[in-house]
């Protein structure tokens, strides 16, 4: 960690990070996107990822404009939470005595989901000070801040306790970092036999190089989407052995189709995702791996 002057009489801790990561942090510190905030306000579960599963298309037939907007928002949130539950279900047989690590935690919805499911403790890490503060306030409001904590740190160098975690994950955050550095940190934090899970978009190596659509997604989110094969190379190189792989691409398409109809939530990237999924150049994967 580095200490940077903030005022003549005060200092503030900042994660050690690159110029690129500083730009990513600036992006998320400034972000106030309705597709993240409006959905989270429904039940105070704020997810920074996409959804999976069959959509309830009847929301589009709602004749009342205000009610249609509310139903669309609620249905998209339901699909996003289904994705969070899918990840949480792969974390293994956790108990309330276990601790889990949420890398790139955003506004904290994934850690809360794991705590509600297992009663476990959780540490979330984000390079956005704004997100960490927001997430900690949500934990306080829920009365779980004794077990669920969020930290303004770099997920590549967390400073958290070695071997202290029964499970860890990344949910759509791996495209912001180098995979070998990331998985080395997960391997350090996990106890032997601990479970790591990632849900991520990746470009399909069999298609060739990253497609035009993937390049547009990179530019939109200031990220660098990795090829599918890179995940398996980096996992195994860092003592994380894949035990379950699931292609979620087909189950992700309904979320994007529905979101493209939500005029109050669209960001302009919806059709790019749909085109990339449909032409096969982009995939949505879940990978679970055990620490050996």
Contact assessment for residue 171 and residue 110, using Cβ atoms and an 8 Å cutoff: yes
Nearest-5° Cα angle at 236, 235 to 240: 65
Section 89-98 average pLDDT: 97
* pLDDT tens, residue by residue, 183-196: 999 999 999 999 99
Coil/strand/helix, residue 55: coil
Contact assessment for residue 196 and residue 251, using Cβ atoms and an 8 Å cutoff: no
Mean pLDDT for all residues in the chain: 92
Give the span between the Cα atoms of 18 and 263, in whole angstroms.
36
Q: Tokens 């298609």 identify what position?
A: 207
Coil/strand/helix, residue 233: helix
* pLDDT tens, residue by residue, 26-75: 878 887 777 778 887 888 888 889 999 999 999 999 999 999 999 999 99
For residue 152, name the pLDDT band (cuts at 50, 70, 90).
Answer: very high
For residue 263, name the pLDDT band (cuts at 50, 70, 90).
Answer: very high
Res 4 pLDDT > 60: no
For residue 19, name the pLDDT band (cuts at 50, 70, 90).
Answer: confident
Give the span between the Cα atoms of 270 and 292, in whole angstroms.
39
Look up the pTM and report it: 0.91
Contact assessment for residue 46 and residue 40, using Cβ atoms and an 8 Å cutoff: yes
Which residue did the predictor score with more confidence, 20 or 275?
275
What pLDDT score does 16 carry?
67
What pLDDT score does 15 carry?
59
For 23, counting Cβ atoms within 10 Å of its Cβ (0-12 exposed, 13-18 middle, 19+ buried), the class is exposed
What pLDDT score does 27 carry?
79
For residue 9, name the pLDDT band (cuts at 50, 70, 90).
Answer: very low
Beta-strand relationship, 121-126 and 2-7: unpaired
What pLDDT score does 243 carry?
98
What pLDDT score does 169 carry?
98
| Out of 22-36, 81-95, 146-160, least confident range | 22-36
Res 241 pLDDT > 80: yes
For 162, counting Cβ atoms within 10 Å of its Cβ (0-12 exposed, 13-18 middle, 19+ buried), the class is exposed
Structure tokens at 254: 């309904």
* pLDDT tens, residue by residue, 205-234: 998 899 999 999 999 999 999 999 999 999
Res 5 pLDDT > 70: no
Section 87-99 average pLDDT: 97
What pLDDT score does 23 carry?
84
Contact assessment for residue 240 and residue 188, using Cβ atoms and an 8 Å cutoff: no
Res 1 pLDDT > 90: no
Give the span between the Cα atoms of 96 and 133, in whole angstroms.
24
């Amino acid at each position: 960690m580095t200490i940077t002057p903030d005022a003549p009489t005060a200092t503030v801790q900042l994660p050690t990070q690159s110029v690129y990561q500083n730009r990513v942090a600036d992006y998320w510190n400034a972000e106030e996107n309705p597709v993240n905030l409006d959905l989270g306000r429904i039940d105070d579960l704020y997810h920074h990822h996409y959804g999976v599963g069959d959509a309830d298309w009847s929301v589009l037939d709602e004749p009342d404009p205000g009610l249609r907007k509310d139903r669309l928002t609620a249905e998209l949130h339901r699909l996003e939470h289904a994705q969070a539950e899918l990840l949480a279900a792969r974390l293994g047989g956790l108990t309330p005595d276990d601790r889990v690590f949420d890398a790139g935690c955003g506004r904290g919805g994934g850690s809360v989901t794991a705590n509600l499911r297992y009663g476990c403790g959780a540490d979330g890490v984000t390079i956005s000070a704004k997100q960490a503060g927001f997430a900690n306030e949500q934990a306080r409001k829920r009365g779980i801040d004794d077990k669920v904590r969020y930290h303004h740190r770099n997920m590549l160098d967390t400073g958290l306790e070695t071997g202290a975690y029964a499970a860890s994950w990344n949910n759509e955050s791996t495209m912001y970092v180098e995979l070998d550095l990331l998985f080395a940190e997960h391997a350090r934090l996990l106890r032997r036999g601990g479970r790591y899970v990632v849900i991520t978009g990746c470009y399909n190596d069999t298609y060739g190089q990253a497609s035009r659509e993937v390049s547009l997604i990179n530019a939109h989110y200031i990220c660098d989407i990795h090829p599918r094969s890179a995940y398996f190379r980096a996992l195994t190189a860092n003592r994380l052995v894949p035990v379950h792989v699931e292609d979620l691409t087909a189950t992700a398409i309904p979320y994007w189709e529905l979101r493209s109809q939500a005029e109050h939530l669209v960001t302009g990237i919806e059709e790019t995702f749909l085109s990339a999924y449909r032409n096969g150049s982009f995939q949505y994967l879940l990978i679970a791996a055990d620490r050996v």
